[in-house]
Amino acid sequence: MPDNIQLLPDHIANQIAAGEVIQRPASAVKELLENAVDAGATEIRLIVNDAGKALIQVIDNGKGMNETDARLCFERHATSKIRQIEDLFHINTMGFRGEALASVAAVSQVELRTRRHSDELGTYIEIENSAVVRQEPCAAAPGTSISMKNLFFNVPARRNFLKSNAAEMRHVIDEFIRVAMAFPQLFFSLTHNGQQVFHLDRGSLKQRLVQLLGSHYNSRLVSVQEQTDYLNIQGFVGKPESAKKTRGDQYFFVNNRFIRSAYLNHAVMQAYQDLIPGDSFPAYVLFIDLNPEQIDVNVHPTKQEIKFEDEKIVYAFVQAAVKHALAQFSITPTLEFDIDEGIQKLDAVSKPFTQEQQSAASSSGLYQAFTRQHQAHFIEKSKPDPAGNKTDSPSGALKSWETFIEASSSGGKNEGSFEYEQASSFDWEPPKKKWQLPEVCDFLQIQLQYIIAPVQQGYILIQQQLAHERVLYERYAAALVGKPMATQRSLFPVTIDLSPADAAMLLEMLSDMALLGYHIEPFGQNSFVIQGTPADILQGNERAAIEQLLDQYKHFSSDVKFSKREKLIRSLASQHAIRTGTQLTQAEMRQLARDLLSCAQPNVTATGKPTFIEFNRDYLNRLFEK
């Protein structure tokens, strides 16, 4: 009987190992940038073509390598950072496993040029499928230039799993941002298809954050700085008013290494408790420096998950540091003791408190209630008014139900109220359903968020925002399958500047957004011109609408089961829906109810929330025992 267990050939073993380290172009970008940082470089340039599928090149001015090291660095588990097992618990470098370059060489065509500052000639090495094809001396600048071409050329199945160039480029930008953010004292640049995306000069941490995340963060950041015997915490957190619906701009670094930690994120969220809504997330960039012996970074192939020796201590320090920063910069609510000048001129302040006034005040029931021991609950009843009017409640505090109904159903509109689109874009015949509106009926809006609509067998209570979300969702879904929406051209086109990550995201969505009524064109680096918007977007609000759309798109991007188009139409429906607190006229309420009941699935939103609750006649009769 032949043996069943055999040793894998080296090239197959390398490709299997590469599957853990190099999952997409962004994975290789991370490994190569970290190697450049470990090499002591002060200038690091990243060049990519076709989102890294065709080329990923990192050029640095670090210490370089000699001929032997240049050849040996592509071997598996070859590293200059580990000598003995104890070194694993004293790691101060970004990489240490010796797997990155071996994995890169296993799935791409690699060219390496490197020279030490003390050498006259450098070394050129060409590798394909883990085998050295060419090695020779060459002229080279001090430092290292490594290029990986045609990623996954020898593993076509892996290449087929890659996303579009726009999607892969967003991942490349994310990895670039994480490395560049951790080292503001170094120069970084990113060039994609010959166009420079980032040019980051050396500077302070705040300058680097503004360069990476956008200039709007310049006035939204609060400094965090805590020095303790156990660890040091520094960085910035966003002001509560800048909180978003997504977790996009949240970064944790431990000893300059980007990590993911739901546990520490919870500590930051606790520090913001009662300062932001429960469904919002603050921005933060926090650097935690502590003894490498207190952490274990060797728990995940990407090194983005680490273990702390005592997580509870780190949790407490992070929460306290963020709370202290918010309080120190007067972000948390405080009492204001400045007295208005007008108050100083009142008689009660400017005139003396006479003996007669003191006696009258001390004999009052209110004074007695506050000065008696164990009588804090005692309040003297007010005397009835001789005219027969009750004085124990403020005037106008109680309103009759008829007055409330009259106020709720008034047709007046407040300033800036929503103009509901009168013409429905549904051109098919509404299906017959059990919820049928009478030909002539009145609608009632309650608390500026609920609509009572009569139906044949009772009435339905509609939540106006969720109902409009359902209507818009089906309208946008129809637009993407052959019924494009009309575009309202802007008289004065608006230019919008975005961060590189958001620009890459918007570029990916332009074709689908054109079907939904948006006419947006690229306009230089990370800039776009909004030439037209759907008819229901108020003129002058185009820039805010695009920014909110991108924020909402990121919110749905966390769910991998959604397609790109599904995320887009859900984002637009959520953004454009009328908000709670908007007053609607009878015509607007009638149109909204008709559009809702004409939907293919009117009773729930795309996210599963109910749009209305039905109160039929039988149920009402049971309530009143009829």
Is pLDDT above 80 for 151? yes
| Rounded-to-integer distance, Cα 552 and Cα 244, Å | 9
Same domain, 226 and 169: no
Q: Which residue has the tokens 């007067």?
A: 330
| Rounded-to-integer distance, Cα 240 and Cα 221, Å | 10
Nearest to 502, CA basis, from 525, 533, 530: 525
Compute the average pLDDT of residues 468-482. 83
Domain hosting 562: range is 444-615
| Rounded-to-integer distance, Cα 444 and Cα 440, Å | 14
- Contact yes or no for 25/46 (Cβ under 8 A): no
Same domain, 55 and 165: yes
- Contact yes or no for 82/126 (Cβ under 8 A): no
Name the DSSP class of 42: S
Per-residue pLDDT, 505: 82
Per-residue pLDDT, 402: 40
pLDDT one-digit tens code per residue, 542-559: 777 787 778 777 766 555
Is 493 within a domain?
yes
Same domain, 233 and 170: no
Is pLDDT above 90 for 177? yes
Report the range of poorest mean pLDDT among 2-11, 40-49, 161-170, 361-370. 361-370
pLDDT one-digit tens code per residue, 253-266: 998 889 888 889 99
| Rounded-to-integer distance, Cα 345 and Cα 115, Å | 80
Is pLDDT above 80 for 268? yes
> H or E segment at 321?
helix 311-328
Per-residue pLDDT, 88: 59
Same domain, 193 and 311: no
> H or E segment at 500?
helix 500-515
Sign, CA torsion 55/61/62/67: positive
Alpha helix ranges (H) inside 372-443? 401-408
Sign, CA torsion 498/504/510/513: negative
Is 422 within a domain?
no
> H or E segment at 192?
strand 187-192
Same domain, 94 and 221: no
Please tell me which residue, 426 or 20, carries the higher pLDDT value: 20
Is 400 within a domain?
no
R_g over Cα of the chain: 33
Is pLDDT above 80 for 269? yes
Same domain, 163 and 236: no
Nearest to 253, CA basis, from 203, 192, 180, 200: 180
| Rounded-to-integer distance, Cα 286 and Cα 210, Å | 15
Report the range of poorest mean pLDDT among 58-62, 363-367, 569-573. 363-367
Which of 200, 220, 253 is the last residue in one of the domains? 200
Phi, psi for residue 387 in degrees, rounded to 5? -75, -5
Contacts of 489 (CB under 8 A, 6+ apart): 519, 531, 532
Which of 200, 220, 240 is the last residue in one of the domains? 200
| Rounded-to-integer distance, Cα 452 and Cα 147, Å | 66
Same domain, 163 and 17: yes
Instruction: With H, G, I as helix, E, B as strand and everything else as coil, classify residue 527.
Output: strand
Q: Which residue has the tokens 């006229």?
A: 585
Structural domain total, the chain:
3
Is 116 within a domain?
yes
Name the DSSP class of 53: T
| Rounded-to-integer distance, Cα 193 and Cα 582, Å | 47
Same domain, 316 and 292: yes
CB-facing half-sphere around the CA of 621: CA atoms within 13 A: 6
| Rounded-to-integer distance, Cα 474 and Cα 426, Å | 9
Is pLDDT above 80 for 363? no
Q: pLDDT tier at 147 (50, 70, 90 boundaries)?
A: very high
| Rounded-to-integer distance, Cα 32 and Cα 39, Å | 11
Same domain, 150 and 285: no
pLDDT one-digit tens code per residue, 366-392: 566 555 554 444 545 545 554 544 444
Same domain, 64 and 113: yes
Nearest to 123, CA basis, from 134, 111, 135: 135
CATH number at residue 460: 3.30.1370.100
Helix, strand, coil percentages (3-state) for the chain, rounded to 5, are 35, 20, 40
CATH number at residue 279: 3.30.230.10
Is 395 within a domain?
no
CATH number at residue 24: 3.30.565.10
Is 589 within a domain?
yes
| Rounded-to-integer distance, Cα 174 and Cα 46, Å | 13
Q: Which two tokens stand for residue 362?
A: 């001390």
Same domain, 118 and 247: no
Report the range of poorest mean pLDDT among 94-103, 154-163, 578-587. 94-103
Is 359 within a domain?
no
| Rounded-to-integer distance, Cα 82 and Cα 93, Å | 10
| Rounded-to-integer distance, Cα 579 and Cα 305, Å | 40
Per-residue pLDDT, 117: 92
Is 508 within a domain?
yes
Count other C-beta atoms under 10 Å from residue 446's C-beta: 13
DSSP 68-135: HHHHHTTSTT--SS-SSGGGGGS--SS--SS-HHHHHHHHSEEEEEEE-TT-SSEEEEEEETTEEEEE
Which of 286, 304, 328 is the last residue in one of the domains? 328
Residue 604 Cα to chain centre, angstroms = 26
Same domain, 131 and 254: no
Beta strands 519-522 and 487-497 are unpaired
Is pLDDT above 70 for 434? no
Report the range of poorest mean pLDDT among 94-98, 431-435, 585-589. 431-435
Per-residue pLDDT, 63: 92
